[in-house]
Structures are given as C-alpha cells and as structure tokens.
Amino acid sequence: MATVRSMRLVVSGDADVDQAELDALTSQLRQRLLELDIDDVRLGRSDGAAPEGAKPGELIAVGALAVSLAPVILRPALRLIETWMQNRPVRTVTVDIDGRILEIGHASKDQQQHLLDLYAEAVRSAADARSNDADDESTAGSQPQVAPDAQE
C-alpha cells in the first residue's frame, strides 16, 4: 500500500484580494483537489498563537490547506494547482512537503512544468531514500549467519 503524504498549501492573492475573496479562492482550490483521488483536503491551521482575549482553540490560517494524498497523485495535484491559478487573482501557491518548498507562480508554461517535474522528483527521491533507510534498519539484525568453515 502506498504511503500517504502530507502537503501544506498556502494561497497568496494579488495585492487587491481581500480576506473574504482569499477564503473563497481557497475553497475553490479545495473543491478542485477533492475531484482528484485525494485522501483528504482540510483548511490549514495556523502555527501562531491566538490573539490575546480570543477564545481558545485552533486558528484557521487564511489561504492554507492541509492535503493528504498518495504519492502517485502528487504530479496531477501540482498540475491541477498550476492550471487552477490561471485567470484567478492568485499571485502564488506555496507547496510544502516535508520542508521541501515550491512556490508556484506565473512563470511560462514550460518553466512551470519543468519546476513541477523537478519538485515532484525531489520529493519522491527523498521519500525513497527514507524508505530505504527504514528497510536497512529493520533488516540490520536479521542478516543470515554463515557457519565458519569446518576444518578437515
């Protein structure tokens, strides 16, 4: 079974986009992502503390989404984000997977495709390396024992 990946997205609107419009844009992107075979897409939580006097609880980060997806869905998700941005008042969408950050903006189609491919490959390579390290650790103590040569 494929490992589920966590991806954090942050949508940044153009200078004239207010919070309500950014919320609407984020909801639109969430709906589009759910059309793919993605495990879960939730509104992202803020890492910061609540303002003084605010009720306790988690804060929703404006423009942020937390996405859980299978690794095979990464490239289609990145391509969907790229095409979704077209003709919308969105400056960038920042993608963060395990600290590997990609900022998708309005580059040429060829440049954007090249960056998306490089990013997806880097994330996959890092995941493969972690998987191989875990496999090495789990099999380190189970190496077959070779009997010493018997003397004749």
Using an 8 Å Cβ cutoff, are 65 and 42 in contact? yes
| Range scoring the smallest mean pLDDT among 59-63, 84-88, 89-93, 115-119 | 59-63
Using an 8 Å Cβ cutoff, are 42 and 93 in contact? no
Over residues 96-150, the pLDDT tens digits come to 998 999 999 878 888 888 888 888 898 888 888 877 776 666 555 544 444 444 4
Domain layout of the chain by residue ranges: 5-47+59-129
CA distance 80 to 28: 12
Give the CA diameter of the chain. Answer: 88
Output the six-digit token pair for 6.
């966590």
CA distance 33 to 11: 13
Over residues 27-66, the pLDDT tens digits come to 999 999 999 989 899 988 655 444 455 444 444 567 899 9
pLDDT at 1 over 50: no
Q: Is 3.30.1380 the CATH number for 5-47+59-129?
A: no
Mean pLDDT of the chain: 80
Contacting residues for 119 by C-beta, under 8 A, at least 6 apart: 78, 95, 100, 102
pLDDT at position 58: 45
